[in-house]
Amino acid sequence: MGVKTAVAVLLVPVLLLGGCTVLLAGGAGKSCTATAGGTEVAAFADRLTMPEQVGRWNKDQLLIAAILIDEAAEMGVPLLAQQNVVMTAMGESSLQILDHGDAVDNSTIGVLQQGESYGTRAQRLDPKTAAHAYLTRLLGVEGWQTMEPTIAAHTVQINQDPFHYRPFWADAQAVVEALTHRGAGGNSASCAAGGDVVLPLAPNYSMTEKYGYRGDIGLGTNSFHAAVDLADIPGGSCGAPVLSSTAGQVTKVENSWTSVQSPDGYTVSYLHMPLSGATVQVGDQVTAGQQLGVIGSEGQSTGCHLDFRVDITGNTDPRLEGITPAAGAGSYIDPEAFFTALGVELCPADWCRRNY
């Protein structure tokens, strides 16, 4: 696909909103989407505070960006992917629904200038469907999270210039922040479940090991499992994004182990993640919902899963004071009790399976 021009005119409003009634449906905008258990996992564009302009992007263009963001949020993709699809649309169409391509390839159409492999003409002209198709391909690119955003987009779009999208990256971050009230680092506090904590993975996972004593699994590890294991992610556990459940400072990033210390003193750790997939480094300040890396099987592991644990040392949050570590757990408390105390259910019965 060649470099796209940005000279075409918007189609009629009916087409612009075709298949996207969510854009103006209802009287209330929302800044987050709720999932089972009341957990907020991704931000939606907020129609009630839609700005007239963000940088060089006017309201008509921002409405298109809002559709892309909403579809990304419905898919449960991380913030980085939401920003990426907006960046790509900026570079392909200037956030317009184009009914033609350019001098290089006039068969590509829509906000993301997609060819016939993406579906029918109507599907490609529908920004919601176009966003879904683009993000599906993006998430299928191995290591996309650690690539420069323009390279990740180029891997999907096959543009003549792999760096074509680079000038739009800062704008995409600004637009997503303006429409969802999320900064470049991740969710704002208002988008965190219970006010300050989110689930570490997108919903529909299984809990494959609970906190407590377990039998010998052949790895020479302590028989007390001071964590919970989460796996069985739809589409595969290996490489699934791992999100920071709390805001705080990254205190450890090693192969198989990443830790974030909360401003309230306790430390949340995420195990078995490959260093190659890390998206943060020691000293970074992160927000609840920001991606830390991806699920792997590094260290003492029997397969791809996330080991999630909470060290209560140094805690000053009164909501956690009544939770004490079990004998044999050192300073680690039961993660389910941790989430419950902060108003979130870690393994809701309607979609989380307990396979242990």
Q: Which DSSP symbol is given to 213?
A: E
Domains of the chain in sequence order: 13-185 (1.10.530), 195-354 (2.70.70.10)
Q: What is the pLDDT of residue 290?
A: 87
Residue 355, judged by CB atoms within 10 A of its CB (0-12, 13-18, 19+), counts as: exposed
Q: What is the pLDDT of residue 226?
A: 94
Question: Is the full-model pTM beyond 0.85?
Answer: no
What is the C-alpha to C-alpha distance for residues 260 and 240, in angstroms, rounded to an integer? 19
Read off the pLDDT of each residue in 139-163 and give the average, rounded to a whole number: 89
Q: What is the pLDDT of residue 22?
A: 26
Q: What digits encode the pLDDT tens for the residues 15-73?
A: 333 332 222 222 223 333 323 222 233 567 776 678 899 999 999 999 999 999 999 88
The total of other beta-carbon atoms located within 10 Å of residue 33's CB is: 16
Q: What is the pLDDT of residue 30?
A: 34
Name the maximum alpha-carbon separation found in the chain. Answer: 70
**What's the pLDDT band for 106 if we cut at 50, 70, 90?**
low
